[in-house]
Amino acid sequence: MIAIGCDHGGFDLKQEIMAHLEKRGLEYKDFGTYTKDSCDYPVYGRAVAKAVASGECDRGIIICGTGIGISITANKIPGIRAALCTDCFCAEATRQHNDANILALGGRVVGAGLALKIVDTFLDTPFSGDERHKRRISMIEE
Ligand code: RB5
């Protein structure tokens, strides 16, 4: 189960991503926002992060205008490794090296075509499992 959430700056891109997940047959839970009205990104970043940290959802996707505010928020929750990605190289590397559990996107930064490829790369790339990466990830939580 994928947790997904956005503010007004990420609303349109979230609609595209949810349609894409449906086409792929992937289940998701939409934590809002549900309209294009101006709202506060920490509400939605926190809701998705808590769903992933608790194990209710396996991965998360969060979107605001830049992806910055919502990723800063999510990374405050223990156990969350939210990665703001603007290209597929970073999406692949953050799964392999950081075992990132949340993907952050900027709805005003990346177009839908690129964003969907970033989403697929993030969801389809496994963690490498290398000892050095495990060690570094455990150091994040110290
Ligand atoms: C909202 O205008 C905007 O500040 C927000 O979507 C995000 O970019 C914050 O980091």
| All domains in the chain, ordered by first residue | 2-141 (3.40.1400.10)
Give me ligand 1 centre to Cα 74, in Å: 14
Residue 133: its pLDDT value, please? 98
**Residue whose C-alpha is closest to residue 87's, from 50, 113, 61, 60:** 113
The predicted model gives 74-98 an average pLDDT of 98
Structural Rg of the chain based on CA atoms = 14
Give the position, in ligand 1's atom list, of the atom nearest the Cα of 70: 10
Q: Does position 142 have pLDDT exceeding 90, yes or no? A: no
Q: Does position 99 have pLDDT exceeding 90, yes or no? A: yes
Give me ligand 1 centre to Cα 55, in Å: 27
Q: Does position 103 have pLDDT exceeding 90, yes or no? A: yes
**Residue whose C-alpha is closest to residue 121's, from 59, 74, 32:** 59
The predicted model gives 30-50 an average pLDDT of 98
The predicted model gives 33-43 an average pLDDT of 98
Residue 58: its pLDDT value, please? 98
The predicted model gives 23-35 an average pLDDT of 98
The whole model's pTM is what? 0.98
Contacts of 109 (CB under 8 A, 6+ apart): 65, 66, 67, 86
68: which 2 tokens?
């910055």
Sheet with strand 82-84: strands edge to edge = 28-30, 2-6, 59-64, 102-106, 82-84
123: which 2 tokens?
């969801």
Q: Does position 33 have pLDDT exceeding 90, yes or no? A: yes
Residue having the nearest C-alpha atom to atom 6 of ligand 1? 65
Q: Does position 113 have pLDDT exceeding 90, yes or no? A: yes
Which residues surround ligand 1 with Cβ inside 6 Å? 7, 9, 41, 64-66, 68-69
Q: Are 30 and 126 in contact (CB under 8 A)?
A: no
Q: Does position 101 have pLDDT exceeding 90, yes or no? A: yes
